[in-house]
Structure formats: structure tokens, C-alpha cells
Amino acid sequence: MQGLMMDVPLLVSSMIDYAAECHGDREVASRELDGKIHRYTYRDAQVRCKKLAQALEKLGVKDGERVGALAWNTRQYFEMFYGVPGMGGVLHTINPRLFHEQLVYIANHAEDAWLAFDAGCADLIRDLAPELTTVRGYIFFGGRDELPDDLNLSRVEFYEDLLAAEDGDYEWPEFDERKASTICYTSGTTGNPKGVVYSHRSTILTAFMQMLGDNISGFKTGLREVFMPMAPLFHGNGWQTPFTAPMMGYNLVLPGREYEPEKLYEIMESEGVTLCFGVPTIWMILLNHMKETGKRFSHLRGTVMSGSKPPRALQESLLQDFGVEPMQGWGMTEALSSTKFSPLGGSTEPDDAAKLDAYQYGGRQAFGSKFRIIDDDGNELPKDGVAQGHLLVRGPTVASGYMKQDGLTGATGVVGGWLHTGDVALLHANGYVELADRSKDVIKSGGEWISSVELENAAMGHPEIAEAAVIAVEHPKWQERPLLIAVRMPDSQITDQQILDYLREKVASWWLPDAVEFLDELPHTGTGKIYKLKLREAFADYKLTGDG
């Protein structure tokens, strides 16, 4: 017997309609590339999204065609998340920090028909355009006087002119909710980037998962939250912020391309930001700036960190020095928001130390997601908070394949209906996920596993260490041993022995790195993560001797 419920498709366009109707007076504040703040309501945004859909249809964008976007966090980019998929197209969010060859590859691989860009990415467009084989035309977010004369593009349309020519009287089309809505390519640290294709259904379900009472909305106090993503919108749908914030009725603050700590602090204070998303690195930079200048947060009460496990010292500083809840979540391009952030998860703990223990977890299993861990032979391990193994996940918001590939392959892959994430983790009986390392970064020493992440975070707890990475190097007896590669704080003269003495009190003795090397800076990927492949290549011939 079948249920007798209306079969109404879950479409991205319905989210901006809901926000306009139920939270229509809530605002989007966007820092333009000239530094000025533009603000408008969700009701205003809905009209502009519909005008964009009308304009794209007139430009000849067909059902399922890809429209790329190479831009920073501004209102026009926010509108693309609704206007493009709402009319049946597919928004391809492109990371401008990728290498030239990667940018050319993904634009051609996705077969982008149109490419939107802002003034901050004009130089990239100049270099890329001659090699883009499928792009029919470009859409510029800025004014005519902001477009460089030497771009030599075959066809350029101006975003604001396109919208000005439309009336916004538009009925969103209905179609299969399993149709593609957006595409995001992985950063491609090994081989070419791979395209993860999100559907309308998965996008709405991910927003619902974030809105659960024991997730983001557990942090909510009426409609007063002011939310700012410090994660760029080209990273995994901007961690879903273009969708979840309007649905929740949060004011949304878009910081543009100004990610310098003083600029971030300035907009957080002026807009009264209460909740932020961002990777640990950006928080370390921001807090260092605030400590140096004696600044304090007037409004901020919580942050969610993801992308890599945050150092305990960072979370401790947020909580104890600034009174900010240092939440953590786990996800990846292929599996957005698979854990709930449990923002109040540590608040019932008796003291700050216990709270910090709770905040070191990578979140708690979200409804719809299922996790398991396995050993090297594929045997399932217990969820006891002790056993650590390779992390697997499945659910309706988890990728089943890459664009133009039959399945997920390489470090990540779908086997038996489970996505192999490439992470090593411990699972707890109450649903918490505790990240240990990336599978490829674990140091296997004498048959035991050493977490490079734990060593890195311990090292960065030292006030004279700005950044640290740990890689495995060959050892004649133990097969692999850890090598610590660190960047000193400015004016620091810390020695290898001093950092080892510091670590001796933080980690097990057999985890201690066998050697320490100092560099002026560490290499990073286009997504801001430490590029360990480059470090492994640089130290491929590094020799350790003795018993270690």
C-alpha cells in the first residue's frame, strides 16, 4: 500500500521562496570589492534570483547546462546559487586559488557554457579564456568601468544590466529533484580535480540536517543570529550557508574577498556577527591579530570549524580567552555536513577541560548519515571510542560517483554502498566521530599508528610555533617514524630540542618525532590545507638512523 501524499519535488528554488515569505525582512549584508557594504532583504534577493533565471533563459542556457562562477563571497554569487539551478541550469563553483592547469581542466571538464566572474578574478579570466573550449560567453559582476580593457573576451554580459532588463515575474519550473543543482571539484592533491555533483534533493536534505534542533538551530535564540561564512562559497556549496541561513531566518554576512584578519574583525563587529564557519587556519590568524591588538568580540558567541581538526590550544583560546563556543564538524566535498555540530554539546560538562574534550570530537552523526570504521583488512571495528580505523560513511547527502566517472576511485571510493573517506577515526557509542588523521598521513611505526594531526596540533600549542606538519619518513627498524616540519613565529629562535621537550609532556614517548626541521613557510593547496604531498616529495630522501 502506498501513502497518499503529494509528490512535490524538493527544489533549491523553494528555499529562497520560503525565506522571502517567512523571513522576508531579514538581511544579507555583502562587502563589495570596493569595500562598501551593500545590504538588502531576502525578499529583495528572491526577486533578483528570479531576474537572473529570466536572463539566463534569454542567454540560451539550456536545461542541465553548466554555468561556472569564479568569484568571492558577494551578493551576486549568493544569487547564483538560486538563479542558476532554479531555472534548470547547474552552477559550477570554481576555486580561484587552484593552479592554472587545474582551472582550465575543470572548466573544460565540466563543459561550462557561461562563466561568471568578478573584478577580483579578472586577471585569472585573462589567462584562462584562450584555453576554455566550451565557454560561449562571460558574465561580469562589476560595472562597465571596472572591466579591464585587455581581457579580449569574445562576449561579455554585465550582470546588473542583465537583471535590470527583467521584471522578476517568473514562475520557477518544476522538475525531478534528483537533477543536478551544483558542482564542486575537489582540490586534486593527487591527479586532476574530480567533480562532485550535488542534486536539488541532496542540497535541501543537507540544509534540513543542519537545521535540526540539536545542530545549528540548537544555537538559535529567536531570529537574532547573524551568520558569516568565512569558508568561501566555492568550497562545497559554501558549507551550505547560502541555503541554511535563509531557511533559518539568520541575517547573512558575506565578507567579499577581504580575508585579512583586521578586515574580518571589522565586518564581524560592524554587522554584529554571532556565528561563523571557518577552517582552523583562519581562526589562528584572526586570534593572533586580536591578541596582538588587544581586541575583543562584542557579539560573536560561536564558531564551527571543519576542513581539518583544530588544535586544542586554538579551541581553548576561543573558549577561555574570548568566550566563544569552539564547535567542530566533519564533512568533505563528497559528503557535506555528515555530522551535526552539536553546538551545545559541551555546555553541560562540569568544567572547561571537559568541554574542550567534547569539542575535540568532529561532531556527532547527523540524521541520515551512517558511519563505520574498518581495519586494513576490511573488518568492521567497534564503536567504543578506543579502536581507530578507516572511516566509512553513507547517506542521502553522500556522493555515489564523480562527474563523468562510473564511481569514486582512489583514496576515496564507494564499496558496498559505503564511501571510503580517506580519514582515520574513532567512533563513540553515542554517535560522536573523533578524527585521528588522514589515511595517507598516518605514520605506521612498528605496526602501530601515530596520528600526524595530533602531533601537529600539539606542536602548534607552543606559542612560538606558527604552523606545523608531520610526515612519515623511512626508518631502518620501525619502517616509518614521524618528522616534524615547523614554521617559527616571527622573531622566535626556538630550537628542535626545545620543541621536543615541549612535546614530551603532550604525547606518548614513542610518538615523539625523530627529527625537527624548520622552514620559512609550508606549502598549501588551493583550499588552504597543508600540501603534504609536496613535503613528502621535498623530504623523500630524508634519512634517519639508529633505533629511534
CA distances from 533 to 90, 104, 514 (A): 32, 22, 20
Q: DSSP character for 16?
A: H
Q: Which of 263, 440, 444, 534 is catalytic?
A: 444
d(CA 14, CA 43): 13
Residue 337 CB: number of other CB atoms within 10 A?
28
Q: What is the largest CA-CA distance in the chain?
A: 76
Q: Which of 271, 334, 467, 480 is catalytic?
A: 334
d(CA 267, CA 475): 50
Q: Which of 57, 370, 449, 529 is catalytic?
A: 449
Pairing relation of β-strands 251-254 and 275-278? Answer: unpaired
Residue of 265, 325, 326, 319 whose CA lies nearest to 296: 265
d(CA 8, CA 14): 11
Q: Which of 74, 93, 182, 186 is catalytic?
A: 186
Which cell is 527 given? 583550499
Place of cell 532588463: 165
- Helices 13-22 and 42-58, packing angle to 10 deg: 150
Residue of 50, 98, 94, 88 whose CA lies nearest to 68: 94
DSSP 450-478: E-HHHHHHHHTTSTTEEEEEEEEEEETTT
Any bridge partners for residue 471, and if so which? 483
d(CA 227, CA 303): 10
Specify whether 334 is catalytic.
Answer: yes
d(CA 357, CA 512): 22
Q: How far apart are the first and last CA of the chain?
A: 67
CA distances from 355 to 63, 180, 309, 324 (A): 49, 40, 16, 12
| Backbone φ and ψ of 56, nearest 5° | -65, -40
| Backbone φ and ψ of 53, nearest 5° | -60, -45
Q: What is residue 134's three-state secondary structure?
A: coil
- Contact indicator for 19, 248 with CB cutoff of 8 Å: no
DSSP-H helix ranges across 129-229: 159-164, 200-211
Pairing relation of β-strands 27-31 and 66-70? Answer: unpaired
Q: What is residue 79's three-state secondary structure?
A: helix
Specify whether 449 is catalytic.
Answer: yes
Handedness of CA 80, 81, 84, 90 (dihedral sign): positive
* Cα-based torsion angle of the residue sequence 278, 285, 302, 353 in order, rounded to the nearest 10 degrees: 120
Q: What is residue 166's three-state secondary structure?
A: coil
- Contact indicator for 44, 113 with CB cutoff of 8 Å: no
Catalytically annotated residues: 186, 334, 444, 449
